[in-house]
Amino acid sequence: MNAPAAALLLICILAVPARCLGQESTDSTDANLSQEEWRQRVNEARRRSDDFIANARSRKGDPFAASDLKKEAIERARRDPSLRQGDIVATERGFEMFVGNEESRQPGDFVPLPGSK
């Protein structure tokens, strides 16, 4: 290492403060809270948590029915560009094997496996 680079490195090391720059300061506002202020913050956090839980429980179910999600997953699998002949896909009609062309999809690209339902 040449002398100017070593000098620059030494200056950088000495210029960094003794404590790590990533550490939080010990003089944060949380450290200066009285016991009563701390309890008040804890109680407020509990209230917000209880409100969140009550809101989550009162919400209606998912806007999508399970059958819709299932159909979407099946269609996504059928459109999967990585499908190769012989690949098997689970559908609402049971297991089906891909027998079509890998470049273009046709309605008859999947045939049911015997006894899969």
Residues 73, 55 within the same domain? no
Q: Which two tokens stand for residue 77?
A: 């699998």
User: 76 and 98 share a domain?
Assistant: yes
Torsion sign across C-alpha atoms 87, 73, 116, 93:
negative
Residue 52 has pLDDT above 80, yes or no: yes
- pTM of the entire structure? 0.39
Same domain, 85 and 99: yes
Residues 44 and 71 in one domain: no
Domain contains 75? yes
Average pLDDT along the chain: 78
Give yes or no: residues 45 and 79 share one domain. Answer: no
Task: Judge whether residue 14 has pLDDT over 80.
Answer: no
Domain end call among 42, 60, 78: 60
In-domain check, residue 12: no
Is the distance from CB of 113 to CB of 94 less than 8 angstroms?
yes
Domain span including residue 53: 33-60
* Cβ atoms of 74 and 92 closer than 8 Å: yes
Query: Do 73 and 41 reside in the same domain of the chain?
Result: no
Model confidence over 75-92: pLDDT tens digits?
Answer: 787 778 888 888 888 877
